[in-house]
Chains A and B, each alone.
Chain A
Amino acid sequence: MLLRLIDYATRALTVISAAIIGALAFLVSYDAITRTLRMPTIWIFDVSLYLLIAAGFLGSAYALRSGSHFRMVIFADMLGSNGRRWADRIAYFATFAFAAMMTWLTAGYVLDNFNAGFTSGTILDAPLWIPQSVMPIGALVLALEALSTLIRDEYPDVVEG
């Protein structure tokens, strides 16, 4: 049940992240054309950067699941299949611990900025907590995804049953 929930969360963030990457092409093109026509927009510059940051943090769990985060596995592979299994365990556990810590730290930071009412200070002047909230959300799902991979690898029977 828990694993299925994590699966849904990772999938949902994957779709959001991918949709953002696609949308960026249209937003930046629109900005380029309006700027050339001397009718620049005031919001695309900020929004597209915030969207990119969101795509990065929210897509991190998907990158972990698809094995896209770069790892140097050459030494682990030298130790044979047992060595590789241990290396995977260590790698996923470290990712889990790091992402859990990051969730806690970034959530506190966002909460502080929310309470203090800080804004971006740019023309758009967006409240900072809105774009920043992708950090704790992305880190939380990354931590859960790492945990779920650890559980799946350790207890494949439980998951299948």
Chain B
Amino acid sequence: MTTGLLIVLLFLVLMAMSLPVFVAMAIAGFAGFILAHGWTTALYGFTETVWQSTHVYELIAIPLFILTGTIMQQSGSGRDLYLVVNAFAGRVRNASGVATIVACGIFAAICGSSIATAATVGYVAIPALKEAGYGDTRAGGFVAAGGTLGILIPPSIPMILYGIITDTSIGQLFIAGVVPGILMMIIFAIYAWRSQPRIEAVPVEKGQHWVLLRRSIGVILLPPVIIGAIYLGVFTPTEVGALAVLYVLALGLLQRRLTYDNTWRAVLSATRTSVMLLMLIIFGQYFAHYLTYEEVPQTIAKAIASVPGGHFVTLSLVVLGYLVMGMFLESAAMLLISVPIFFPVAMHLGMHPLTFGIFAVMAMEIAQISPPVGINLFTIHGISRIPLEKLARGVMPFILTQIVFLYLVYYVPEIVLWLPERMK
């Protein structure tokens, strides 16, 4: 066990030295196996374990949902979506702010990544919000926070990762994310609606609504089809991912928005992200394999669970652990490191694997917008040049809301479990 903790320390040091995280995981795991079994077994076991950990069919869903997002990014669907929601928001107070959140929510129901959601909607929404007078802090905050809905509203790449690590049904996880996702979107939209100072909407010309609706109807129809197909069990999540790629590809070609160049850019971009995630998963599984052998997660879980003060304190320690990790780690890496450790704690707390899955995804949402390394903040900074300090201020109210949500999910798990329990 002591060796196990030393290996965890080695991993943290390697990571702090800025090694690619998958390399740090591989080296730390390999060093651990050498100490545990000696050279020969460690050498032979390495390839065998790595090869075995690639054998998960659900992994295929990851590049497919990423590709759906990157194709939509290139075909300008985010623009259509924002414009149509904005038009129908009409004269509602802070209409453009509310529209930004809702457009993020709809986009999130097609693509499984927060970065893609924030970047696609943000590309058109941020200039529009700034022009309307929302200011950098509010404009950036709305898009960064709205973007995180990308992983809570299904499909969701992190839910696929969680499902693979904990052997939980990915289809059920997707459906479990629907109610919390919509609820979170509504709360975010209410915040945008009430936020100060009040900005008057500029109504669109008469008849323009229908032009915009016709242009974006292909995208708007996709979310109910995706969620419906998974809910009814017609297709597996992986199959839905593949069909969604073909659908957005066909849509982009029909609308004459996809060319050879931008389609190839979409594929390359999806390849980069998918490869990064695949390497993290494969070597994360290898590292987790070692940690489980040394019973490190169980020991940490016992230590957390034995802190006096009951479930509230234990839960708060998990929340705190996630907040601290979220400040330094990218969300996928955080999930792969944290779930093997916190999953036994969650089971001790009596959480359902689906409830903890949604809990972990929400913790990742917070990580994505927590300074200093929240990836959504960098994404928005990259496309809008809004200073990071202003973005960090803009997302604060949303982070607080999400923290409250973490507790809510624990104390009222029906929010998560109600819909999946009704699945076919």
| Chain A residues within CB distance 8 Å of chain B | 14, 17-18, 21-22, 24-29, 31-32, 35-36, 45, 48-49, 52-53, 55-56, 59-60, 62-64, 66, 68-76, 87-88, 90-91, 94-95, 98, 102, 105-106, 108-109, 132, 135
Contacts and interface: CB of A to CB of B under 8 A. Distances in A.
B282 interface: yes
B279 A73 contact: no
Contact of A25 (B67, B276, B278): B67
A106 B20 CA distance: 20
Contacts of A75: 16-18
B268 to A, nearest CB: 5
A91 B17 contact: yes
Given A55-B274, A73-B18, A94 B27 contact: yes
A70 B280 contact: yes
Contacts of A63: 272, 275-276, 279
A94 B19 contact: yes
Contacts, number: 165
B17 A87 contact: yes
14 contacts: A17-B271, A21-B67, A22-B67, A29-B246, A35-B239, A49-B59, A52-B59, A68-B272, A69-B20, A72-B329, A75-B17, A87-B17, A90-B19, A98-B23
B347 to A, nearest CB: 28
Given A72-B16, A76-B18, A28 B241 contact: yes
Contact of A69 (B51, B63, B276, B372): B276
In this complex, the interface size class of chain B, counting residues with CB under 8 Å from chain A, is: 35 or more
Interface stretch (B42-50, B75-83, B214-222, B300-308): B42-50
Given A25-B246, A28-B64, A28-B241, A17 B21 contact: no
Given A25-B64, A69-B279, 16 more contacts: A14-B268, A17-B275, A21-B267, A24-B64, A25-B249, A28-B242, A32-B243, A35-B239, A56-B274, A56-B278, A59-B274, A63-B272, A69-B22, A72-B21, A105-B47, A135-B51
